[in-house]
Homo-oligomer: A and B are copies of this chain.
Amino acid sequence: MNENQAHTRTPDAGRRSERSRRAIYDAALALVSEAGYARTTIEGIAARAGVGKQTIYRWWPSKAAVLLDAFLDLGEQATETTPVIPDTGDLAADLKLVLRATVDELTNPAFEAPTRALTAEGVVDPALCALYVERLLNPSLQLYVDRLRSAEAAGELRPGIDHRVAVELFVGPLTHRWMLRTLPLTHEYADTLVDYALGGLSPRA
């Protein structure tokens, strides 16, 4: 592969209009929230943002990519992207706190629509999914891994546990309920998950 492909003609990022970028993010998020992902169109985003279509096509390869960036930007603005998991010495309490917060976020209508849109697209589009995981999901899961490592050092965790798998034991079920809307997603559910996962389902010896 050649970096200077004829038809890849990377545009000059230095000249990029910050104004347009922001307007596109705002329009994209608004439309996805209002109409859903499928009914959100690039034409619609451009029109709403007061921007030429080409300005979108110049900088993003697909509708999904625009949405992903818009969503990342939304996170960065909130500066809550790195809300470190607290370490009070009580692992169960700390995890419940974070999972409850996650439940609240997944339930928040403002976040839910675009998140669902992106997730659904990721399920079906591996390339987008990789971006999504790399830039949004993994950084977030890493916080859990870190907390678990600290817990292991403090003797709050059985030694030899694969931290990554452990994290999925909490996050997996939560995501499952949210995605497939099987049953209500509540704080109680989050608490129960923590209790079950930490304590185990088998009878204590």
* Residue A180 lies at the interface, judged by CB distance under 8 Å to chain B: yes
Q: Using Cβ atoms and an 8 Å threshold, which residues of chain B touch A176?
A: 168, 171-172, 175-176
* Residue A203 lies at the interface, judged by CB distance under 8 Å to chain B: yes
Contact of A37 among B124, B138, B202, B205 (CB under 8 A): B124
Annotate A118-139 by CB proximity to B: 1 below 8 A, 0 otherwise. Answer: 0111111110011011000110
Complex formed: what's the CA distance from A130 to B183 in Å? 11
* Residue A83 lies at the interface, judged by CB distance under 8 Å to chain B: no
* Residue A38 lies at the interface, judged by CB distance under 8 Å to chain B: yes
Question: Do residues A201 and B123 form an inter-chain contact, with CB atoms below 8 A?
Answer: no
A202 → chain B, closest Cβ, in Å?
A: 5
The verdict on A177 contacting B181 (CB below 8 Å), with A200-B198, A201-B161, A204-B204 known, is no
Question: Do residues A168 and B157 form an inter-chain contact, with CB atoms below 8 A?
Answer: no
A33 → chain B, closest Cβ, in Å?
A: 13
Question: Do residues A173 and B182 form an inter-chain contact, with CB atoms below 8 A?
Answer: no
* Residue A145 lies at the interface, judged by CB distance under 8 Å to chain B: no
* Residue A179 lies at the interface, judged by CB distance under 8 Å to chain B: yes
Interface on A for B, CB 8 Å cutoff? 36-38, 116-117, 119-126, 129-130, 132-133, 137-138, 141, 155-159, 161-162, 164-166, 168-169, 171-177, 179-183, 189, 192-193, 196-205
Q: List 16 A-B contacts (CB under 8 A).
A: A38-B124, A116-B123, A119-B179, A120-B120, A123-B123, A129-B181, A132-B180, A158-B200, A158-B204, A161-B196, A165-B192, A165-B193, A165-B196, A169-B169, A169-B196, A199-B202
